[in-house]
């Protein structure tokens, strides 16, 4: 009927009643979800949250695992070295073959020639913070010396005979490695790390040397 309460409230009657109950201090019950909210819950229920957690977990695992798979030997020669330090590219270079073998590698950088890929540590010796290693490349059939935990001016040397030697000094950082020497079916290599100023904290005097030797007998069987 004209003038009735229902006609006066029109389409917004539910909103008006809710506002009146709050205004006069009356207690209202929990608000029921609207059709739009119920539809959203059906489309974005617990399954969505679980799926998000699973996706995040898988992403984390892949982020950690892929670099490990691409990096090869954790004792590689990517830090310090005969040449300038370079950050590894986003695309792994593990598929690039060595560019030299045996005599052709004499005096070359194991990283620049990809001989460091798949290289082995045949022997290792530690004194104080210094660690000296003999590194060997099965693909290139070469050896080189590596020094870690060193200070500027410390040196690393590798020798396969009285006349066949390579030597490098630490320029920056704490790691350095020598150029390569050929290693045939039988060989004997001697690496020596020398601390220029010593390491007082480790009771190493200036000029302290750390020698380590290796031969074909130290190559692990395939």
Q: What is the DSSP string of 142-169?
A: EEEEEEES--TT-EEEEESSSS-EEEEE
CA distances (Å), origin 174, targets 22, 123, 203: 72, 19, 18
The gap between the terminal CA atoms of the chain, to the nearest Å, is 99
List the chain residues with pLDDT less than 50: 1-27, 40-41, 49, 53, 55, 58-74, 81-93
Contact 94, 109 (CB under 8 A): no
Please report how many Cα atoms fall inside a 13 Å half-sphere around the Cα of residue 150, on the Cβ side: 32
Contact 117, 78 (CB under 8 A): no
Residue 97 to residue 200: CA distance in whole angstroms: 44
Residue 128 to residue 149: CA distance in whole angstroms: 9
Who's near 166: CB < 8 A, 6+ residues apart? Answer: 107, 144, 145, 157, 158, 159, 178, 179, 180, 181
What stretches of 100-157 show up as alpha helix (H) in DSSP?
none
Residue 193 to residue 158: CA distance in whole angstroms: 9
pLDDT at 96: 84
Q: What is the pLDDT of residues 168-209, one digit of tens each?
A: 999 999 999 999 999 999 999 999 999 999 999 999 999 999
């Amino acid at each position: 009927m004209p003038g009735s309460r229902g006609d006066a409230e029109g389409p917004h009657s539910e909103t008006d009643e809710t506002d009146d109950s709050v205004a006069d201090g009356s207690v209202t019950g929990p608000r029921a979800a609207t059709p739009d909210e119920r539809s959203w819950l059906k489309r974005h229920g617990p399954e969505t949250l679980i799926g998000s957690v699973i996706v995040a977990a898988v992403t984390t695992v892949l982020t950690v695992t892929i670099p490990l798979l691409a990096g090869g030997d954790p004792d590689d020669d990517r830090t310090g070295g005969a040449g300038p330090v370079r950050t590894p590219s986003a695309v792994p270079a593990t598929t690039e073959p060595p560019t030299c073998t045996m005599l052709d590698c004499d005096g070359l950088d194991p990283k620049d020639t990809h001989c460091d890929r798949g290289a082995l540590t045949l022997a290792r010796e530690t004194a104080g913070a210094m660690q000296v290693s003999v590194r060997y490349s099965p693909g290139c059939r070469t050896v080189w010396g590596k020094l870690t935990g060193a200070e500027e001016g410390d040196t690393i040397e590798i020798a396969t005979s009285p006349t066949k030697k390579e030597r490098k000094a630490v320029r920056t950082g704490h790691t350095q490695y020598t150029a390569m020497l050929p290693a045939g079916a039988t060989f004997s290599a001697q690496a020596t790390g020398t601390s220029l100023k010593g390491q007082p904290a480790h009771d190493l005097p200036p000029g302290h040397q750390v020698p380590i030797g290796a031969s074909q007998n130290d190559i692990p069987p395939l």
